[in-house]
Structure 1
Amino acid sequence: MNKNVQFFAIFCMVTICIQSAEDRRLQLSENIGISVMADALPSENSHEDQSSEKRPLSLSESIVIGGVVGCLEVAFPGQILVYAMNQKIDKKPFVLSNSYKGFSAHAGGQMPITAMQKVVQVKGSDLLEKWQDRPLSIKQKIAISCCAGIAGAIIDTPCNAVQLFLQKEANAGKNIGDACKELSMKSCFKGFTANALLKEAPFAIAYQTSAPQAIEIAKEYVGDNLFAQAIGGSIVGVATAVGTQPGAVIRNRMSNDPHGVLYTSTLQTVQKIYKEEGAQAFFRGLSARGPRVGIAIPLYVMYGTAMEYIIRKEL
């Protein structure tokens, strides 16, 4: 039954991606035709259009884009199927609606993280561009994305600690308020260094900087369509899943030990895991987390681009 669920999940995700790519291709074809006709005619407002296209996003717009992108990524049907597959729902008949249970809590936790990362990226880029009076280099974009990831970890780390606390069998029946009372501020931020530097920072670099570059390369081979975004984003997503898995393992080990009985620091945690379980322990759970990250990266890019167009009234 587990294999059937996996095949069903993969089939549905592929079908959704193919159908979305075809719909987007047709839409792009119509838009390109309209754009070509419009470009053939001289316009007095061409300079104003170019300046409006580069209009920097405000703080509120950045928060809205980041929050909506995080919520949409969680709600994507392919993601829901991956969650169901990872949770090994094989003892009962698979019901898609059951996979949406807890959606509000998941979306509520994801929205402030992506909103924080978007704000840091947009405002950091604007300030640096104004200061140096020229476009940002790739290295500068990577540095800003790294800061955005670290900022997101400030929210993600305590949320993850509370989530792990509530998932323990010994804490069954307790709520978020009980978790906040029993966990100290120090306990909530255990594993922050590993989470910020080894997981959230690389993840932010991947979807804010690396994925757009990979998508541009993919467009040279398959054309400017959704398929290119899916290919470029998924390649970066798979690499990101592999690269950030050790950080997720280290963070979870430290968060699961809030009082520091087994794990006292990031370095000590790395040494203990490697000595007792070997290097393969750092990639435990990759098969479950990999598909989600592989899908999340292109979704972040596509949703973010669409939201920016909508807010800037370019659609």
Structure 2
Amino acid sequence: MLKDSLAIRASCQEGSGYLKRANSDRLHEIFNQYATHEKNGEKFMTPADFVRSYLGLYTNTDYNPDSVKLLAAIVDTSKDGLISFTEFQAFEGLLCVPDALYRTAFQLFDTNGNGMVAFDEFAEVMKKTVLHQRMPFNMDSDFIKLYFGKDKKRLITYAEFSQFLHDFHEEYATEAFRKFDKDGEGFISAVDFQDIMLSIKSHLLTKEVKENLSAVVHASQTGKKVSFPYFMAFLSLLNNMELIKRIYLNATNGHRNQEVTKEEFLHSAQMMSQITPLEVNILFELCDLLHQTGSTDDPEADTRLGKIVYNDLVVITPEQYFRQITKRLAEIKAVSSPEERGVIVQILESGYRFALGSVGGAVGATAVYPIDLVKTRMQNQRTGSFIGELMYRNSFDCCKKVIRHEGFFGLYRGLVPQLMGVAPEKAIKLTVNDFVRDKFMDKKGNILLYGEIISGACAGGSQVIFTNPLEIVKIRLQVAGEIAGGSKVRAWSVVKELGIFGLYKGARACFLRDVPFSAIYFPMYAHTKAKMADEGGYNTPISLLLSGAIAGVPAAALVTPADVIKTRLQVVAREGQTTYNGLMDCARKIYKEEGARAFWKGATARVFRSSPQFGVTLFTYELLQRLLFVDFGGSRPSGSEQKVPAMGVADEIRSTNPDHIGGYQVALPIFMGIETKFGLALPRFQALTGK
């Protein structure tokens, strides 16, 4: 088994992609820190060192030493009562493999370490579990003989044991039913049903289901005894809650707040799996009961009888180790570095992001263009020069007058060149932000705040090459309508008049605006999105849109002074208006002639334009990544994966020990899985059960 474990670790290191082995020297340092036993000059961990000190389990003074020894024996493959560094390191590798839970359980029962499980070994460990103490299992049953042979001398391999362990727990419940069904009529009382569920299947029951076990039976069985078909359907439903969630999402096309009737759910179930009508009946009866008792924390649940939403399924889903494993793997799994992925792949990924960003930018710009036009005209309105009466009193007055004098489509004056430029502008901005974020991410996929700020700043700076020519043309088209009787101004004539260098007039002010804007916007968007994600880290389309809009408010407002200066520099001054010679000259003259408040002209319109624009842009960009996802090995927006979040262990058992590195970062949920997956809790498993 030791060789097998070493081979597993090597495989994990070289290509599984699940976890990266911790630095050997660091792991050795941690081992020596906890190892208290020394033999022939070599340090070893005792069972208490590993389980109580390192893992942090059984920390009470009245802990069960037999349970500690059993758990430590999982790592102690030599079965000499001590854990060497080689064994400690080998188990770290075993925790990396996809079937780590089954392998860990196998090593729990393989007490002599020969790579096989004998009946005596299985019986010895099983009799020490809380489950067997509550409701003993018949070790002479035909089920046991089918696996271990008539004389129970057959040895079971790992692969066979994994199937045995899966089937054993189902047989356990069936045998309990037989014991209570003394007359062999295929019925047990509701009290007996509750006793079986709380004793054998407690790990599959949420608090809400436990509190309503009797009620749901009375509702389904009209207060009479529980039939064997109902019993089996109830167990099957509990075992398949993750599948039930997928059936719901299939019925709603991924929407989590859409109400689904029993008929709709049953139709979806028949397309996807073998969920029976009886299981569906139990599901809806249980949800209705929880609605009526207020167990769903949904004030409108009692009005939804006969229908379910996704949160109803979350309430009755038992907490398993899977969510913690999934979360930790996502954190630990290294994001492929540029060197690992190659230049061609990086170019393809950037092209993919550029294309999606172009679409997102075009959609966002079109959605808010009228607001942008009003913002530009308000910012260009001057009070320090002799130009007569102010044309617009405020943004709303400006909008009204544009429609009156130029028609509704006057609000979209200059949109075509805007769309021609905004696509590459937003595309390069989003692409550079994602690209630089990848560079700042560590091997666990984490990024510090300064990395987010620098990534955003780089994105803002990169877009100026497209932004400045685009905006100078757009602005001149937007203000052209203010001149009564003036000739129609076209985009191409503006470009010819300005020339290449003229298109970059005001570029410094553009940098001054776009760099801080993006440095503020992207980090705030990422953190707002994380706050608005659900418990599985998933962002709904609405939360994406709101996150983008919320992040745009401070970013747009704080850079308004730079935007005012940029607008003044890029607009052609009319007769009587002040002219400016550069950024500092413009800022000085605006302050002298119009006061400090002039720097905040159009701030309201800017916020109302930039906030929803970026909300729509990022919303479109991330939805497109969901719908048209291509895996290039890099990162993708967090919370964008459209998936059913796996449920998992409670927060209180998550490891906070900084010495849990490498595979040991998932050690606690793996050990928890032996209980929550198989119901095999050991006595006084206090750190996990809270008993």
**TM-score normalised per structure 1:** 0.71
Match of residue 594, structure 2, among 273, 277, 293: 277
1:292 to 2:609 alignment: yes
- Residues 270-291 of structure 1: CA deviation (Å, up to 9, x unaligned): 1111111111000111232221
CA distance in 2, matches of 1:286, 1:188: 25
CA distance in 2, matches of 1:247, 1:114: 19
Structure 1's 98 and 129: CA in aligned 2 closer, same or farther, altered over 3 A? same
Alignment of 1:220-239 (within 5 A): 225=540, 228-239=543-554
8 Å contact from structure 1 (residues 164, 256) kept in 2: yes
1:173 to 2:488 alignment: yes
For structure 1, the 5+ residue unaligned runs are 1-22
State the Cα distance separating 1:31 from its structure 2 match.
10
Partner of 1:248: 563
CA distance in 1, matches of 2:625, 2:470: 28
Match of residue 364, structure 2, among 53, 73, 98: 73
For structure 2, the 5+ residue unaligned runs are 1-253, 260-308, 337-345, 375-394, 631-640, 643-691
CA distance in 2, matches of 1:186, 1:97: 31
Structure 1's 238 and 126: CA in aligned 2 closer, same or farther, altered over 3 A? closer
- Residues 169-226 of structure 1: CA deviation (Å, up to 9, x unaligned): 49733423322221133322121111112x21233234422122123234589x9655
Alignment of 1:109-148 (within 5 A): 109-129=421-441, 135-148=446-459
State the Cα distance separating 1:299 from its structure 2 match.
2.3
Match of residue 26, structure 1, among 257, 261, 271: 257
8 Å contact from structure 1 (residues 238, 293) kept in 2: yes
Structure ranking higher in helix proportion: 1
1:154 to 2:465 alignment: yes
State the Cα distance separating 1:92 from its structure 2 match.
4.5
Q: Match of 1:88, SS?
A: helix
- Residues 231-263 of structure 1: CA deviation (Å, up to 9, x unaligned): 5443332212211211110001111259xx832
1:203 to 2:511 alignment: no
8 Å contact from structure 1 (residues 65, 118) kept in 2: no
Structure 1's 281 and 92: CA in aligned 2 closer, same or farther, altered over 3 A? closer
Matched to 1:275, the amino acid is: K
CA distance in 2, matches of 1:268, 1:83: 25
8 Å contact from structure 1 (residues 61, 311) kept in 2: no
State the Cα distance separating 1:126 from its structure 2 match.
2.9
- Residues 106-164 of structure 1: CA deviation (Å, up to 9, x unaligned): 3222111101112212222334448x886331111211111111111121111111223
8 Å contact from structure 2 (residues 437, 455) kept in 1: yes
1:268 to 2:585 alignment: yes
8 Å contact from structure 1 (residues 165, 171) kept in 2: no
CA distance in 1, matches of 2:509, 2:352: 30
Structure 1's 212 and 299: CA in aligned 2 closer, same or farther, altered over 3 A? farther
CA distance in 1, matches of 2:613, 2:553: 10
Partner of 1:185: 500
State the Cα distance separating 1:301 from its structure 2 match.
3.0
Match of residue 419, structure 2, among 99, 102, 107: 107
Structure 1's 27 and 211: CA in aligned 2 closer, same or farther, altered over 3 A? farther
CA distance in 2, matches of 1:263, 1:217: 45
Partner of 1:5: none
CA distance in 1, matches of 2:444, 2:531: 27
Q: Which has the larger radius of gyration?
A: 2
**Same amino acid, percent of matched pairs:** 20
8 Å contact from structure 2 (residues 353, 427) kept in 1: yes
The aligned length equals 280
8 Å contact from structure 2 (residues 414, 491) kept in 1: no
Q: Match of 2:493, SS?
A: helix
Matched to 1:58, the amino acid is: E
State the Cα distance separating 1:73 from its structure 2 match.
1.0
Structure 1's 92 and 165: CA in aligned 2 closer, same or farther, altered over 3 A? closer
8 Å contact from structure 1 (residues 116, 148) kept in 2: yes
Structure 1's 140 and 27: CA in aligned 2 closer, same or farther, altered over 3 A? farther
8 Å contact from structure 1 (residues 158, 188) kept in 2: yes
CA distance in 1, matches of 2:592, 2:459: 33
Structure 1's 25 and 74: CA in aligned 2 closer, same or farther, altered over 3 A? farther
State the Cα distance separating 1:70 from its structure 2 match.
0.5
Mean CA deviation greater in 204-213 or 246-255:
204-213
Structure 1's 208 and 300: CA in aligned 2 closer, same or farther, altered over 3 A? farther
Q: Relative contact order: is structure 1 or structure 2 higher (C-alpha 8 Å, sep ≥ 6)?
A: 1
CA distance in 1, matches of 2:504, 2:413: 27
Matched to 1:26, the amino acid is: N
Structure 1's 33 and 196: CA in aligned 2 closer, same or farther, altered over 3 A? farther
CA distance in 1, matches of 2:255, 2:599: 39
